Structure 1
Amino acid sequence: MRSAMLSFVSRAVLLSKHVPRVIYPVQRAALTIPTVAPTVDKKDRCVVVNWSSEKSEWSKYHFPWLRDNCQCSLCRDSNFSQRLLNTLEDATPADVRIPDDESGSVEVEWADGHCSQFSYDWLLTNSYCHNKVLTPKRTREVTLWDSSIKDNPPKMKYGDIMQDDNQSLLALLRNLYQYGFTLVEDTPPRPETMEAVGKRIGAISNNFFGALWFMEAGNMTVTHMSYGEKKIAPHNDMMGFNDTPGLFFFHVYELEGEGTDSLLIDSFRLASEVKKHNMEYFDLLSKVSLTYTNKYSETRDGVLHNGIYEEYPTTFTVDRNGEVVKIRLSQADRKPMDSIALAQAMKVLSCDADEAMDKMYKALRYLHSLIYDPKYMYKFRLKPGTLMLCDNHRLLHGRDEFTKGMGRRKACGLYVSQDEWHAKMKLLESELLD
């Protein structure tokens, strides 16, 4: 029992009032190791596990929840942990006990004769109603940045990423999660090298541009503005589609002359500024859905490829803690604000239509003032040999206009879905760090 106690107590953490915007929390403060084993109190509707002799650190587990989450081989598939039975029908306990076999667990016998056993470690990890304890998780930090990142942008080497040991590939993906982008230096200036990096991460997304897409300054035949020579304002790609690109690759593989500056902006940093400046603006941007055009006009083989779906996203997507996890913004593609958006703004502000429309545009105007503020913009010149990867759900990207006499500039790009690269990162972490 003592070894089991050391295992579960070392994972306990003090409950924090503020949950930072991270996935999985590495460093944690442990509770004082109790001198006695946990005790269990059976209540009418739940089990209370007391993690200390003073009963000041406890977790509560309701009987329907325990029955629904039985981990035994009769109730769960051993490979994928999927439920095999309808565990929602009966949650009447016949007995609750701590086994005498020093397994470090709580055992619940149900009225139908089935017996469920829950280890202390599992119970603590999945604690949802508690006092002074929080589920222990690994942290993966998110770093908000501004134009000062130009002094030390996240960079990797192509040769390192393409090695077989996966350590550098994991470092690349963690950079992407932490900063939202990474520059891959010493990349051979050919489209296939960009494709090779993409395939190291996951399946390449095929869309109406194709799996790999190409653009050449001064020789554009496609009418979409992304292929034109005018300045491209900061934006996210393909806002008119439900399945928006996750990871965005861009590679200048041929250049004559000086080229043009690219730019990146950390929208999570902008969101933090909006929240500090005006919480009403933040609420509007995270609760009012805007519409975006999906009419892209590219013709291949005599077929006009247009967007099929039309999603109604909020500018900021927030998680259950109220932290921004995604941005959807493209000034060029935003459609007129409609009656649904106006009604949402009126509800958020508890005001009439006139005030709601006025404040909605003030919120958008303030956000765009930050977007065009040089303080938050990282500008740099992409040249052959440097591949750019960025998180399309977090970063805004754009470029300056092509100037006369700039010379030839050939570039290519591709997308990998958000699910693909997040899954790859988690898989490598479990293989290389556990």
Structure 2
Amino acid sequence: MTTTHDPVAAAERCTPEYRRNPHPVYAHLRDTAPVCPMKPPHGNETYLITRYEDARAALSDPRLSKDMYGAMDAYRSIFGDSSVALDDNMLNSDPPKHTRLRKLVNSEFTPRRVEALRGQIQDIVGRLLDACPTREPVDLLPAFAFPLPITVICELLGVPPDERSRMQELSTTVAQTGFSEESKRAQQKAEEDLHAYFTDLIARKRSRPGDDLLSALTAAQDSDGGLTGNELVSTAFLLMFAGHKTTAYLIGNAVYHLLAHPAQLRAVQEDPELIAPAVEELVRFEGSVESATFRYATEDVEISGTRIPKGALVQIALTSANRDPRKFDDPDEFDVRRPGNAQNAHLGFGHGSHYCLGAPLARLETQLALTGLFSRFPRVALADPAREAPWMEVPFPAFRGLAELPVVLEPPGA
């Protein structure tokens, strides 16, 4: 058994150059240090997994716990005490608690409920595009990619329209927190405000329930095995947060790469049946979740010849796994006609018991967003095609998304 270490590659993962293009770093790690020990900004011993087969196995390895309360010292040092109240949910738990929580939500988050949103999502897409200027540059992230999923998830949860902009503002603060004391204070305040908001909203749903997911979960709270009060608040936060940011960044990434690959865009425009496989390929090629959420080793675990010691944190690099040439032919090529068995093997929505509950909704929203945009504005173009894509900078790689996406919907001569 050997332990490989590549401190140069590990350090590179936090640089601006890496944020612009992490793929060469990941390729180097897959070849030289597929399970790489790192010292991230939070200071906790962490191992980064980069190869596809290792990543897939790790995502369902019961020795790698998702119950961050079991690693409380590390958890608190990274996210702070205020996060605890909002993280009492299925994402941060193991069986049997995870099984119970997921079953309760899954019973309401059904394919029928998601599919019933199709017409509503199409209407939202249309209204957002109606509001965009067409002959001058518009940043599609705040104008389209972000308001679409936050509107959809708020409709699903039953959040009143006049309260949604504040929700987006608070969730953005939580997502973009760094490690400075000022940043941590901003995160703590946003988390406290979100906890108070959802506590109040749940009380309103209890007194005046509606036909929405949060009302259904609230009604089931007192049933046998139902959600506790804090679990319900935390689950509402998880559904809002996970159903918003990841899909928004995915839509932005998807639009950018289709515009940057005109032959692929033409193929989708000429054959609408390619839109679903195109979304799968986009999730594989440049998904919005770069690394799965933290796990920690409950015992010594050996992966690819490297011993991960008990108590260490583990990050699984989905972006790297999805470009592993050991799994995918020509992985750095974006191909909407990639064979389906290869496309559907991606880990962009995870794997195992923690596979993304909202994957069907994210797929549907992205498909309808792309269909609506490119059918209504078939000549849409990047406002400055020569400009390098401005990828978002984050304190540690969790999301992969653009900082802005300026386009012209109807370029001159269109």
TM interval, short-chain normalised: under 0.3
Larger strand percent: 1
TM-score by length of 1: 0.25
Larger helix percent: 2
Relative contact order: is structure 1 or structure 2 higher (C-alpha 8 Å, sep ≥ 6)?
A: 2
Larger Rg: 1
